[in-house]
Structure 1
């Protein structure tokens, strides 16, 4: 059977190597240009996610919300872990917090300018969650929980989801903001707002999951 896989792999490689791709590339560029013109943002990926397939994106956000609720539901009956494994040597703490600072700045950049350049709400949320995770493994769990409660992160996360769904419904039924000038920071209709809402949702949802696993598992 191995020789069949070898022959199939070689045939696929030769097909990719010698088959012409100029027509496909030209068609792809035309599709990208259409998406940019219709969405009003230079980042065609953001245009597709928050306009052409916004219906799918709504359910992606809902699925992530259910994942956070599922983590809480599955671990809520367990006893909190007595010890938490963390970085305690000074070099590791400094590097982790430096990385958290960089990740947080990248998260803000991706959320605000995600419709203009590569990035967007999901990438910004992942970067924000990474920053929170790096802080969590170098800080007291009690302090992290107090910050989470003080800023009402759970309420803000749920509010971001509700506002995202509401704006998405407005966009789907045809109530959109003016696109403005292509390439401008304030432009692109609802897309910049949706980017920021998704970033908040993903970052705070990641924070909730991180806190749950630290509390009940003692590690990330």
Structure 2
């Protein structure tokens, strides 16, 4: 059978040399301008993530949810540690909390205005998770868990996922909110809402993972 593969390879090589590749004929268009027009947002990346490939984005959110559940499952049989490694010197604590404040402000900015400028839900969620992590390494772990339970963060995380999937399915079915005026805060239809939901999901999921690693590993 080897000679069959050899002949097939030679034939394919001759084909590539002799026969030219077909070239599609269409009018030259700007893909970026087309996406901006279709999505109604200046941030083309957000337009692609939350419109052109929204089907993929749904499963990206689901994968992150599964990752949070996986951490809980893998650490569930371990014994909580009694030693937690944190910053204890005053300068490091001040710098960490200053960084947390900046990261939190950036997270809010990216989630609200991510459809107008570079940013978006995932970046906003990472910034929010960073802020929570910086607070965690300078504060009492018991206090962090108490705040987490007081505000029902685990419930809000699950609710944000369910609402995101529901709105995404509605969008995929062909129903969209009015795009509004391009470049304004209230524009892009469903995209700003999806941005905020993803940011909320990623930040709260990161919070849950951080608490688990502090409880069972003593560090982040």
Instruction: Tell me, yes or no, if structure 1 residue 209 matches structure 2 residue 214.
Output: no
Correspondence for 2:87: 87
Alignment of 1:99-138 (within 5 A): 99-138=99-138
Deviation at 1:33, TM superposition (A): 0.6
The structure with the largest alpha-carbon Rg is 2
Q: Which residue of 2 aligns with 1:187?
A: 187
Q: 1:149 to 1:50 in 2, by over 3 A?
A: same
Deviation at 1:214, TM superposition (A): 0.3
Name the residue aligned to 2:3.
none
Separation of aligned partners in 1, 2:162 and 2:38: 26
Residues in 2 aligned to 1:195 and 1:77: alpha-carbon distance in whole angstroms: 35
Matched residues, number = 194
Equivalent in the alignment of 1:167: 167
Corresponding residue of 1:154: 154
| Aligned residue number for residue 51 of structure 2 | 51
Name structure 2 gaps, 5 residues minimum: 1-26
**Could you state the TM-score of these two structures normalised by the residue count of structure 1?**
0.87
Q: String of CA shifts for 1:155-194, please: whole Å, max 9, x gaps.
A: 0000000000000000000111000100010111100000
CA offset digits 1:138-160 (Å, max 9, x no partner) = 00000000000000000000000
Where has structure 1 moved over 3 Å in runs of 4 or more?
Answer: none
Change (3 A) 1:29 1:94: farther
Deviation at 1:54, TM superposition (A): 0.1
Aligned residue runs from structure 1 range 25-104, under 5 A: 30-104=30-104
Tell me by how many angstroms 1:110 deviates: 0.2
More helix by proportion, 1 or 2?
A: 1
SS in 1 for 2:30: helix
Distance in 1, matches of 2:67 and 2:150, equals: 23
Q: CA RMSD, aligned part only?
A: 1.2
Q: Give the TM-score, by structure 2 length.
A: 0.87
Unaligned runs of 5+ in 1: 1-26
